Amino acid sequence: MNGDIYNKAQVILDKKIEEKGLRKTQERYRILREIYNREDHFEIEELYNDIMAQKFNISKATVYNVVELLVEVGLVTKHQFGLKHASRYEKSFGRKQHSHLICINCNKVFEFCDPRIQNIQHTLEEFSGLEIKDHSLILYGQCNKSNCIKTNIY
């Protein structure tokens, strides 16, 4: 984990907690740390199970509520990859804009960054007169890996 990024994310969370009049609990900071230690796109159930495996006693409702707070603050991004899937999340503070490629068989998420997308965004801003604040590009494909689990999840 990049300690500097985590520390800055913690300052942002502290500010939001104070604004909302919430308590600064060890559970909130533990969840933030767990997320910022990850490099994947996770479901809340996975996050909860990983925290519980470390013998940290926490309720599933707390994990859901804290993750939603982190989404609201902009420290975590929520994704819905496909219609039949649970939401997935990823840390967002200190990360570069990227797009996603999803395997329709095993649901694996691949990230990619292509500067041409940024060029398209600039062209659209000029054409429309709108200042684009964010974008999302999700492509769906099929793994060519022999160990891809074919479950027809899409």
What domains appear along the chain, each with residue ranges and CATH number? 1-92 (1.10.10.10), 96-154 (3.30.1490.190)
Encode burial over 46-75: b for 16+ CB neighbours within 10 A, e otherwise: ebbeebeeeeeebeeebbeebbebbeebeb
If you write DSSP's letter for every residue of 87-111 in order, what string do you get?
A: -EEEE-TT----EEEEETTT--EEE
If you write DSSP's letter for every residue of 127-145 in order, what string do you get?
A: HH---------EEEE----
Does the model's pTM come out above 0.75?
Answer: yes
From the annotation, which residues make up the binding site?
Answer: 103, 106, 135, 143
From the annotation, which residues make up the binding site for Fe cation?
Answer: 135
The per-residue pLDDT for 153 is 44
Reported as a single tens digit per residue, the pLDDT across 2-46 is 678 899 999 999 999 999 999 999 999 999 999 999 989 999 999
More confident residue, 53 or 143: 53
From the annotation, which residues make up the binding site for Zn(2+)?
Answer: 103, 106, 143
Give yes or no for a contact between 111 and 99, defined as CB atoms under 8 angstroms apart.
yes
Beta strands in the chain (DSSP E): 76-79, 88-91, 99-103, 109-112, 138-141
In this structure, what are the phi and psi dihedrals at residue 16, rounded to the nearest 5 degrees? Answer: -65, -40
